[in-house]
DNA sequence: GGAGAACCGTAACGTACGGTACGGTGTTTT
DNA sequence: AAAACACCGTACCGTACGTTACGGTTCTCC
């Protein structure tokens, strides 16, 4: 009630960003520990400063999640030309990017944290999960929506509900990757593997929702 | 080193099962708290007994996970007749069952727990995730594998690798349900909704991997 | 150059919790 | 009946950790 800590504004000092990066690094390299003392030591700052800047432990965690989310916002997946090839490329590019994000150690650690304290029926910060969801899954959906709808208006793909189609796409791309990684399964997706999975998922999606005009896998000349 | 606690045998007293059920109930109804004292109070037993039976906290958790897993093993998805309709029914029945399992509060709480301590780089019990994975995701895969291969041998579906096909099926069925629930998203799948999703996913899977002989929705003359 | 703020490092406090010990009670065994 | 056992309830111990407090150092501003 004294002062509002981190009042939704992105007013983060260089130093503060460095501290949050230290939190991220700590989360990644040694799982769930993450004590305030460890953070202070790692970031070479005093605990007093930590509490002054972020209020309490939950404030620090929330700020960290937001900070990471603000770093991930990436490319826009243009929808200028509207032929099948361009749509397919956009989808593949998106899928590959998303796969590499969700399989990155940072994302795994962050999701693990949000899930861990997601069920704390108690008072304060049960919203980490909501923040991750809003900045991860839902932001992604909002970003891809125009691509889907442009594809539909161009008659390349057909579906009644954009959200439903999008969720099918998500399922084909991600499959059980995220839950397995969260549960500690090895299963490191290398670069080419990601690329291959992205292409497979996209082609499957187009096979399901494509209108058949210039359907992929029915090559004119190329492959 | 004194005595082996719960040595892989299912030698669980009625009373012990009741204790583990109390743990499950506690996990479900109040998220991640789960202190030994709370368990003892809830189960009306002494902490001493808890430690005598399960060794330590990790032992109790592990036993709980195993206990829940042993309760879930369900139907066998017969593969007697081998026409498309029977295959489709088996798949839908499986998908609906799996959806209802992963969206159940117990499963969510259990996965949350396993994920939460899954990254504990430390010494003891980093294997909860592995246990959940082995008894959940992988057991499911092993159980459905014969169905897939029977379908392939009957010429109803075609794929190079069973695992790959299975993972596509999993993706189409589960989509982002599990991760969203774990992150605290509301999204209660009612019975009819589950049934509908199961059918949709199965039909999509058959559209992708079906050979076209009597393909569903493309009757008799096929395409 | 001096006052004050910002911050680091560390010590101190309070609490929560895993784990243990102990007395009391009911049940089984001899 | 007495001893042995299994168990409940509770008190107790040690530690880890969130949070606060404080002395010392650097930087800024006048």
Closest chain A residue to B180 measured between Cα atoms? A133
Count Cβ atoms within 10 A of the Cβ of residue B58 and give its class: 0-12 exposed, 13-18 middle, 19 or more buried. middle
Residue A3 lies in a domain: no
Residue A9 lies in a domain: no
CA distance B114 to B39: 18
Q: Which of A114, A170, A207 sits opposite B208 (nearest CB)?
A: A207
What does the angle CA A164 – CA A170 – CA A175 come to, to the nearest 5 degrees?
125
Q: Are B186 and B194 in contact (CB under 8 A)?
A: no
Nearest Cα to B129, choosing from B139, B141, B115?
B115
CA distance A122 to A156: 49
Q: What is the predicted pLDDT for the residue at A218?
A: 41
Task: Report which DSSP code applies to A220.
Answer: S
Assess whether B60 and B100 both reside in one domain. no
Residue A188: pLDDT band by 50, 70, 90 thresholds? confident
Instruction: Give residues with Cβ within 8 angstroms of B106, minimum separation 6.
Output: B24, B27, B28, B68
User: Which CATH number belongs to the domain containing residue B50 in this structure?
Assistant: 1.10.10.60
- Domain housing A152: 74-209
- For residue A61, the distance in angstroms to the closest alpha carbon of chain B comes to 15
Structure tokens at A110: 């962050």
Higher pLDDT, A212 or B99: B99
Measured from the Cβ of residue B16, the count of other Cβ atoms closer than 10 Å reads 18
Mutate to test the interface with B, among A115, A212, A218 (most CBs of B within 10 A): A115
Measured from the Cβ of residue A183, the count of other Cβ atoms closer than 10 Å reads 22
Q: Are B113 and B30 in contact (CB under 8 A)?
A: no
Q: Are A42 and A29 in contact (CB under 8 A)?
A: no
CA B55 remoteness from chain centre: 26
Residue A40 lies in a domain: yes
Assess whether A116 and A62 both reside in one domain. no
Q: How high does pLDDT run on average in chain A?
A: 85
Residue A2 lies in a domain: no
**How large is the average pLDDT for residues A41-61?**
93
Residue A216: pLDDT band by 50, 70, 90 thresholds? very low
Q: What is the predicted pLDDT for the residue at A17?
A: 92
Assess whether A96 and A179 both reside in one domain. yes
Residue B123 lies in a domain: yes
Q: What is the predicted pLDDT for the residue at B7?
A: 44
Assess whether B63 and B118 both reside in one domain. no
- For residue A75, the distance in angstroms to the closest alpha carbon of chain B comes to 22
Residue-wise pLDDT for B21-30, tens only, equals 999 999 998 7
Residue-wise pLDDT for B122-133, tens only, equals 455 568 899 999
B contact residues 78-117, partner A, Cβ 8 Å cutoff: 109, 111-112, 114-117
What does the angle CA A122 – CA B31 – CA B181 come to, to the nearest 5 degrees?
110
Assess whether B166 and B194 both reside in one domain. yes
B40: enclosing H helix or E strand: helix B36-43
Assess whether B41 and B146 both reside in one domain. no
Measured from the Cβ of residue A159, the count of other Cβ atoms closer than 10 Å reads 16
Can you give the three-state secondary structure of B46-85, one letter per residue?
CHHHHHHHHCCHHHHHHHHHHHHHHHHCCCCCCCCCCCHH
CA distance B182 to B81: 38
Q: Are B65 and B139 in contact (CB under 8 A)?
A: no
Residue B5: pLDDT band by 50, 70, 90 thresholds? low
Assess whether A64 and A89 both reside in one domain. no
Can you give the three-state secondary structure of A147-174, one letter per residue?
HHHHHHHCCCECCCCHHHHHHHHHHHHH
Higher pLDDT, A121 or B94: B94
Residue A156 lies in a domain: yes
Residue-wise pLDDT for A134-151, tens only, equals 988 999 999 899 999 999
Mutate to test the interface with A, among B120, B175, B199 (most CBs of A within 10 A): B175
Beta bridge partners of A157: A210
Q: Are A91 and A69 in contact (CB under 8 A)?
A: no
**How large is the average pLDDT for residues A51-65?**
93
Q: What is the predicted pLDDT for the residue at B53?
A: 94
What does the angle CA B94 – CA B95 – CA B97 come to, to the nearest 5 degrees?
65
Instruction: Give residues with Cβ within 8 angstroms of B213, minimum separation 6.
Output: B84, B155, B156, B222
Q: What is the predicted pLDDT for the residue at B203?
A: 96
Residue A216 lies in a domain: no
Overall domain count for chain B: 2
Q: What is the predicted pLDDT for the residue at B127?
A: 84
Where among B51, B71, B91 does a domain terminate?
B71
Where among A34, A50, A71 does a domain terminate?
A71
Task: Report which DSSP code applies to A117.
Answer: G
Assess whether A131 and A202 both reside in one domain. yes
Q: Which residue's CA lies closest to nucleotide C7 at its C1' atom?
A: A49
Q: What is the predicted pLDDT for the residue at B11?
A: 78
pLDDT tops 80 at residue B216? no
Beta bridge partners of B157: B210
Assess whether A91 and A171 both reside in one domain. yes
Instruction: Give residues with Cβ within 8 angstroms of A87, minimum separation 6.
Output: A79, A147, A150, A151, A154, A156, A157, A206
CA distance B108 to B92: 22
Residue-wise pLDDT for A80-124, tens only, equals 668 899 899 999 999 999 999 999 999 999 999 999 887 665 555
Q: What is the predicted pLDDT for the residue at B1?
A: 39
How many helices and strands in chain A, by DSSP H and E?
Answer: 11, 0
Residue A72: pLDDT band by 50, 70, 90 thresholds? confident
Assess whether A92 and A36 both reside in one domain. no
Assess whether A97 and A188 both reside in one domain. yes
Measured from the Cβ of residue B142, the count of other Cβ atoms closer than 10 Å reads 11
What does the angle CA A64 – CA B113 – CA B167 come to, to the nearest 5 degrees?
90
Q: Which phi and psi angles does A210 have, rounded to 5°?
A: -70, 150
User: Which CATH number belongs to the domain containing residue A113 in this structure?
Assistant: 1.10.357.10
What does the angle CA A105 – CA A106 – CA A108 come to, to the nearest 5 degrees?
65
Residue B6 lies in a domain: no
pLDDT tops 70 at residue B121? no
pLDDT tops 70 at residue A70? yes
pLDDT tops 90 at residue A14? no
pLDDT tops 90 at residue A78? no
Where among B43, B71, B99 does a domain terminate?
B71
A12 touches strand D (CB under 7 A): no
Assess whether A97 and A67 both reside in one domain. no
């Amino acid at each position: 009630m004294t002062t509002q800590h981190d009042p939704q504004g992105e007013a983060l000092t260089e130093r503060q960003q460095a501290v949050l990066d230290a939190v991220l690094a700590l989360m990644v390299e040694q799982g769930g520990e993450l004590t305030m003392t460890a953070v202070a030591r790692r970031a070479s700052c005093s605990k007093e400063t930590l509490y002054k800047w972020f209020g309490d432990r939950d404030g620090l965690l929330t700020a960290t999640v937001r900070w990471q989310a603000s770093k991930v916002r990436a490319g826009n997946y243009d929808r200028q030309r509207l032929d099948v090839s361009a749509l397919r490329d956009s989808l593949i590019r998106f899928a590959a990017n998303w796969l590499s994000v969700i399989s990155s150690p940072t994302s795994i650690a962050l999701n693990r944290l949000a899930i861990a304290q997601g069920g704390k029926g108690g008072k304060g910060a049960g919203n980490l999960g909501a923040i991750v969801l809003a900045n991860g899954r839902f932001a992604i959906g909002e970003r891809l929506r125009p691509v889907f709808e442009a594809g539909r208006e161009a008659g390349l793909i057909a579906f009644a509900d954009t959200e439903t189609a999008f969720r099918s796409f998500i399922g084909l791309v991600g499959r059980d990757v995220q839950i397995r990684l969260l549960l500690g399964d090895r299963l490191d997706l290398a670069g080419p593997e990601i690329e291959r999975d992205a292409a497979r998922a996209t082609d499957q999606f187009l096979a399901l929702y494509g209108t058949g005009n210039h359907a992929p896998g029915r090559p004119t000349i190329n492959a």
